[in-house]
Amino acid sequence: MTLSRRTFVSSLAAGLIPAAARAAGRTLIIGQVPSTLFAPFYVAIARGYLERAGFTPSVQRIGSGEEAMALLANGQLDIVLGGISAATFNAVQRGFNVKILSSAAYQPQKGHPSALLVRSDLYAGGLTTPKGLRGKTIAFLGGKGATGAYYATLILRPAGLTLSDLEVRGLSSPDQGPALARRAIDAVFAAAPFTTSFQEQRLAREIAAPPAGISCTASFVGPTLLKDPSAARSVRAAFVEGARDLQGEAFYESRNLEVFHTYTGLPMSVLKTMPRYDFDPGLRIDTKTLADMQRVFAQLGVLAYSTLIDTDSLIAGA
């Protein structure tokens, strides 16, 4: 059975959860990198939206993008919640049966939960804009093929710089703070709550942030759902319910913060004050940014191919 993108999206808009999926009651293995970037999905799990659609979710922590795409492609995971990376494009181009099901977070119109920061001593010495980063060491999760590489590229563009003008290090979020403290790195691109934490500890100061209104994170599906479009529609509909619970300041409702605490391990005190991301109420995929990401990853030399692929080939139901 094939499914057009128009049919896929229109069925979601109608709020339809197919009977086949409701009756299935099957386990759905979800791999995630814990972050409020994926808040709608946590809500869909915790509030029973997936169970109502006929699924029993089982959540597991995952590592790198390449590892996640491999586990998804071979059916060890049914869904991955993560950043769109070079591994995403490489997997699809190589014929792996993985697709983007929905967007996750959008960079918000208000506040900077994700940002570029420089070490506090460098900031005090006058490094207060991206223009001063030439020759400096920057760190972010995953290295040049990661989502952070794209965000950093967007920030550097207006300054006339690229990542080739800096030394890039891949560091996990928990390792970034100690690296700043040791002065092993000069700058870091980080996501909430680390952006706030680094500044509160006086390790770093924010100098720039990605543009508002773009999304580089997503939910991904593999062969187990792609071969069952009815089930995929049901899963996406449940996720959309989660997103609709988080519009505007509803993000900070106690019932939602409790859910985020459960799935990210972040203290309630942090969740109450950290900047929030925006979530499209229909979890619309940011296709314009998706196309630009492929071009940037090609320029960075992290794609395993030279002829760019149609980005529609990355989207479930396209």
Q: H/E element holding 260?
A: helix 254-264
What region, left, alpha or beta, does residue 78 occupy, with left being phi > 0 and alpha being psi -120 to 50 degrees? alpha
Amino acid letter, residue 240: V
Cβ proximity of 25 and 223 under 8 Å: no
Return the pLDDT at 25. 66
List, for residues 96-146, the tens digit of each pLDDT value. 999 999 999 999 999 999 999 999 999 999 999 999 999 999 999 988 999
- 216 token code pair: 């580089």
- Where do the domains of the chain lie? 5-107+215-314, 115-208
Low-confidence ranges of the chain (pLDDT < 70): 1-25, 64-65, 318
In the chain, which ranges are E strands? Answer: 26-32, 55-61, 79-83, 99-103, 115-119, 137-140, 167-170, 187-190, 204-208, 217-221
- With tokens 């209104």, the residue in question is 213
Return the pLDDT at 67. 81
Return the pLDDT at 317. 85
Return the pLDDT at 310. 97
Q: H/E element holding 44?
A: helix 39-46
Q: For 115-208, CATH number?
A: 3.40.190.10
- CATH 3.40.50.300 at 5-107+215-314, yes or no: no
Return the pLDDT at 10. 41
Return the pLDDT at 21. 44
Q: H/E element holding 205?
A: strand 204-208
Instruction: Tell me the C-alpha distance between 179 and 22, whole Å.
Output: 48
Equal CATH topology for 5-107+215-314 and 115-208: yes
Q: Name, in order, each residue with C-beta under 8 angstroms of 237's C-beta and a sequence gap of 6 or more.
A: 11, 12, 15, 16, 17, 53
Instruction: Tell me the C-alpha distance between 214 and 204, whole Å.
Output: 25
Instruction: Tell me the C-alpha distance between 92 and 95, whole Å.
Output: 5
Amino acid letter, residue 21: A
Instruction: Tell me the C-alpha distance between 147 and 214, whole Å.
Output: 12
